[in-house]
Amino acid sequence: MERIEGVVLAAGEGRRMRSRRPKVLHEILGLPMGAYVLRAMREAVDRVWVVTGYRCEEVEEGLRQWCSSFVRQGAPKGTGDALRTVVSSLTAPLILVAPGDVPLIRGSTLRGLVEHHLREGMDVTVLTAFVKDPEGYGRVVRDGGAVVAIVEDREASLAEKALQEVNTGVYLFSLSLLVKALPLLSPHPPKGEYYLPDVVSWAVKGGYKVGAVQVKDPLEGMGVNTRRELAKAWGVLRDRKNEALMEGGVTIVDPCSTYVDVEVEVGQDTVIAPWVQIQGKSRLEEDCLICSHVRIRDSHLGKGARVLEASYMEGVTLGEGVRVGPMAHLRPGTVLGAEVKVGNFVEVKGSQLGAGTKASHLAYIGDATIGRGVNVGAGTITCNYDGFRKHPTIIGDGVFIGSDTQLVAPVRVGDHALIGAGSTITKDVPENALALSRTPQKIFAGKGMLYLRKRRGR
Ligand code: UD1
Ligand code: CA
């Protein structure tokens, strides 16, 4: 049997987001908002449940990576009703509840709440926050210092509206209290919703021990109900990630314009210029240089890799000392060996380039396996698609491909072959061979520009 179980409430529609997407699935730095709450929960409880409702299948799919126990609330009849749907599944004596829209909450804060609750022998402990602008939140009403009730914004008197201590929606309850209290909640007009905060005043009246812990950093308790709050949460989580990276020895020139997803790892002495996004499950080793306007997604960069301005890559592996860009596009399945150079306006897809190979300008390399020390000339194109299927191009070591070459796949070029500029290669080239496929050049003496001008009378 688990000692503490967690419940995340995520059945609401999130109407204030004005979105077709359920609120808890709105992403911040690569993770859905609800995942942040679940990650924090996992630091404090033994098992977590999520209550779903609005577009429940989508929500369950979107959060399954962080939680596999879901309970569905029939109609969204309020936070009290949401907790009621799950209560019969719970077995632990202590239940930690959080809304799915508090992505800034920290695991350490939740652990602190649990410790306080146990130390003081409480039946209910509410996590509160002292905020400058309490509008929209439930206000914490105290009497002689003791919490007596939580009053929702829309039902608060003028005096209560002025209270700046608010309910974060995070609570710790003893299960036995919930089992008694939840069936007794009454619905609030106009929508007939059952309010979970009503359990607090019920417990006070019933003589239970009710306490509160005020969160040190009030931002942690911020509920994300609107797109403006979503943007604010982005900023806070971006800063937290950047601060952790800087503490680990990464230089971030302008943290305000650097967006690194939560799960990204960056090695020591890597330098990140302004206006960069590093996303998904990317890992950058030590001493990398990431220049401005670069986006890196789900990629692994070896030690000392340099990605120059305005390059985009997804699902790629770069060896040590690779140089990419400026303005290069590396697509999934690309693997570049050590010291490879891929320059401006080069696109690579599903291809391996051996160590020291260079494609410095204006090329398309798709479905190719290229050996070591190859020179891919400017304007080289692997013609990998015949309108029906993709075909491979295989190039050996030490090959020189002259500029403006088309390699019509499937085709194979042997080691140390030389292809003359402007060739269209449709047949395999043996190793050490020279291949050329240009139309022979013709010369018409005296027919240059002077001749043309004369004929046109200019
Ligand atoms: C709630 C609290 C308020 C607190 C604030 C903190 C209530 C009545 N009010 O208000 O005191 O200050 O959070 O952020 O609890 N949900 C369900 N089923 C429902 C309704 C909501 O699962 O029927 C879920 C939502 O998906 C959401 C969470 O509960 O994740 C909170 O609901 P929300 O509508 O955002 O409550 P607030 O108005 O913010
Ligand atoms: Ca909310």
C-alpha span between 264 and 316 (Å, rounded): 14
Ligand 2 centroid – CA 221 distance (Å): 10
Q: What percent of the chain has pLDDT over 90?
A: 98
The bound ligand whose nearest atom lies closest to the alpha carbon of 10 is: 1
Query: What are 136-175's pLDDT values in tens digits?
Result: 999 999 999 999 999 999 999 999 999 999 999 999 999 9
- Grouping H, G, I as helix, E, B as strand and the rest as coil, residue 36 is helix
Q: Which CATH class is domain 249-435?
A: mainly beta
List the domain boundaries for the chain: 4-221, 249-435
Asked if 299 contacts 285 with a C-beta cutoff of 8 angstroms, the reply is no
C-alpha span between 289 and 275 (Å, rounded): 13
* Structure-token pair, residue 256: 């305000």
Query: What are 271-324's pLDDT values in tens digits?
Result: 999 999 999 999 999 999 999 999 999 999 999 999 999 999 999 999 999 999
C-alpha span between 72 and 82 (Å, rounded): 8
Say if ligand 1 is within 6 A of residue 10 CB.
yes
Query: What are 338-374's pLDDT values in tens digits?
Result: 999 999 999 999 999 999 999 999 999 999 999 999 9
Ligand 1 centroid – CA 306 distance (Å): 46
C-alpha span between 427 and 15 (Å, rounded): 62
Write the CATH number of the domain with boundaries 4-221.
3.90.550.10
Say if ligand 1 is within 6 A of residue 197 CB.
yes
> How many CB atoms sit inside 10 A of residue 441's CB?
5
| Nearest-CA residue for atom 37 of ligand 1 | 137
C-alpha span between 95 and 100 (Å, rounded): 15
Residue type, 375: N
Q: What percent of the chain has pLDDT over 70?
A: 100
Query: What are 236-255's pLDDT values in tens digits?
Result: 999 999 999 999 999 999 99
Ligand 2 centroid – CA 184 distance (Å): 23
pLDDT of residue 325: 97
| pTM for the model | 0.94
| Nearest-CA residue for atom 35 of ligand 1 | 225
| Nearest-CA residue for atom 25 of ligand 1 | 12
Measure the CA angle with vertex 192, ends 187 and 197; round to 5°: 50
Say if ligand 1 is within 6 A of residue 223 CB.
yes
pLDDT of residue 458: 75
pLDDT of residue 2: 64
Say if ligand 1 is within 6 A of residue 87 CB.
no
